Amino acid sequence: MLSLLAALSTGSTAPRGASTALRGDLFWANAIADSILALAYFSIAIGLALLIRRRRDFAFGWMFWCFAAFLMADGIVHLMSVTALWRPLGGAASIFKGLTAAASIATAAALWALLSRLVSMPSRAQLRDQNAELEALIKERDAAFEELREHVAQRQELEAALLQSQKLEAVGQLTGGIAHDFNNLLQAVAGNLELIARKPDDIDRVVGWSASALNAVERGRSLTGQLLAFSSKQRFDLNSVRLGELVGGVKDLIERAVAPLGQLRVERIDPALNVEVDPLQLELVLLNLAFNARDAMPEGGTLTIAVDRASHAAVRDLPDGDYVALTLSDTGIGMSEEVRARACEPFFTTKGPGKGTGMGLAMASAVVRRSGGALAIESREGEGTSIILLLRVATSQPRRVVGDDARSDVRADLSGFTIALVDDDAQVRGSLYDTLASAGAKVEEAAEGGAGIELVRRLRPDLLVVDFAMPGMTGADVVRKVREEHPGLPVVLVTGFAESAKLDAVTGPQVAVLWKPFEAQELLRKVAGLLRP
């Protein structure tokens, strides 16, 4: 190209060199043809180079570079041919032609060597077939995933049913002791009420007797609360829980579980120790393990509950974090190594027919695993058994619970307020009526859900008090219907037992839940809190 520019810059376009042998028309035909070919080769070579630089994922990219080099060299040869029409280039032209020949030979050789691989590449039809096969495999994979999801869902349902059956089995095993306790509570209430009826004028003693009766009622409420927590269907809900309070709360039930021959000893637990568990599920685990300990001590013995920091070796297979070991140790018959290795298998039991399902330890292990921990067993025949629950230490504080201040005396003045009361039990309804009326409220009552809805429509009250469990239309149904016409109406929902999911459907702003049995002051506090927030 430089030679061509030099030739044209001489100021003369008269043919020289090779052009002397050509007529004028042939001279310009060759010049134009070679120039066009040179430009075409340069354009193709540059296009190939840009393509490969931008698409580095192309297979055999090096082959494109070879073609680009060959075309660039051939373009230079044609450009030199144009230059030679004006000025002979001598040896330079021969050198470039030799280089071009070498590039062409190398490119041709590489192409022939690559030809077999190019021919073996799949055709469009083959690619379509492969795509169809791939789509079929994807459909099979999706079907397998769906089947796996269904299996997981079925397993979760079975685990939930198993857990529920274990709860009911635990309650069933406690029935005898609980019946005895309730008879004692009823005797305490009846006896104190009879004394009050005999000597109503002895004010000091009447106050003492009434306090004793209320104390018995409170004990009964605590016991029924624990039973309902065990037998009700609850979703698995991890929370930060004070371990000492949890163990203390279920201590009475565990004592009944190991009675009458067994004894319970609970070592001191740091009151500030919080663990991450579902409290109801862990209580059930402790209760079932207590039943196992009782059965392992047919001649009597001691069940000890203790808490220590978990050793590094015990938690090496668990996720990083701090753990504690909640250990239940009995002085029973112990296990052989073969039994210990299979103790957590579902339905494995060494008890006789009708004496156990073999699911207690399997359920306990599942609950602890879902809490992020693990269960370990240490046992020897004749030396007792220790069940170790490795629980993750919680990093957050437990949720604040309303304390005894909720039971403090409330001097509620409900004068000027109108309250609709709906309850199917006449005695309960009468007690609620007297409590609210004595605080100054205007109260009107209904004995069933449909009448309660009509009462609200007619009365347009300031607040609704309704029982949850009523035949026909439940309290939840009443609340939903009433809220359709009176969205902001405050509601006190009274219940002795209800599944959490059903309560969640109606609770929310301006809805308070009151659990039976309750004191009059609790009712007044809930009502006053809604009417005077």
Q: DSSP of 148-207, one letter per residue?
A: HHHHHHHHHHHHHHHHHHHHHHHHHHHHHHHHHHHHHHHHHHHHHHHHHHH-TT-HHHHH
The predicted structure's pLDDT at residue 469: 84
Exposure string for 245-259, b = 16+ CB within 10 A, e = fewer: bbbebbebbbbbbbe
Q: What share of the chain has pLDDT > 90, as a percent? A: 22
Query: One-letter amino acid identity for 75?
Result: G
Q: Residue 178 pLDDT more than 60?
A: yes
The confidence score (pLDDT) of residue 53 equals 81
Q: What is the mean pLDDT of residues 495-518?
A: 74
Torsion of CA 489, 493, 499, 500, to 10 degrees: 60
Binned at pLDDT 50, 70 and 90, residue 460 comes out as very high
* Angle 186-189-195 from CA coordinates, rounded to 5°: 135
The CA R_g of the chain, rounded to the nearest whole Å, is 45
Amino acid symbol at 368: V
Lowest-confidence pick of 59-73, 114-128, 402-416 = 402-416
Kindly state the tokens that stand for 260.
Answer: 């009458």
Average pLDDT over residues 174-185: 66
- Average pLDDT over the chain, rounded to an integer: 79
- What pLDDT score does 231 carry? 54
pLDDT, mean of residues 421-442? 91
For residue 207, the number of C-alpha atoms closer than 13 Å in the C-beta half-sphere is 2
* CB-based contact 373:317 (threshold 8 Å): no
Write the pLDDT tens digit of every residue in 235-284.
567 889 999 999 998 888 888 888 878 899 999 999 889 999 988 788 88
User: What are the pLDDT digits (tens) for 253-267?
Assistant: 888 888 878 899 999
What is the spatial order of strands in the sheet that 301-309 belongs to?
262-266, 301-309, 323-330, 385-392, 374-379
| Most confident of the ranges 228-237, 276-285, 400-409, 449-458 | 449-458
Secondary structure class of 308 (helix, strand, coil) = strand
Q: Which residue has the higher pLDDT, 19 or 217?
A: 217
At residue 461, does pLDDT exceed 70? yes
Name the pTM for this structure. 0.47
Cα–Cα distance for residue pair 147/307, rounded to 1 Å: 43
Element (H, E) at 305: strand 301-309
Q: Out of 85-94, 190-199, 264-273, 296-305, which region has the weakest mean confidence (pLDDT)?
A: 85-94
> Within 13 Å and on the Cβ side, how many CA atoms surround 478?
36
Note the pLDDT of residue 306.
Answer: 95
Residue where the block lists tokens 């021959």: 261
Q: How many CB atoms lie within 10 A of CB 450?
A: 14
Reported as a single tens digit per residue, the pLDDT across 308-367 is 988 766 777 788 888 999 999 999 999 999 888 888 876 677 776 545 556 678 778 888
Residue-level pLDDT at 166:
62
CA distance 357 to 481: 45
| Secondary structure letter of residue 312 according to DSSP | T
- pLDDT above 60 for 125: yes
Query: In this predicted model, which residue has the larger pLDDT, 428 or 496?
Result: 428
Whose tokens are 């930060």? That residue is 240
Do residues 467 and 475 touch, judged by C-beta distance below 8 A?
A: yes
Residue scoring higher pLDDT (152 or 109): 152
CA–CA distance, 487 with 478 (Å, rounded to integer): 13
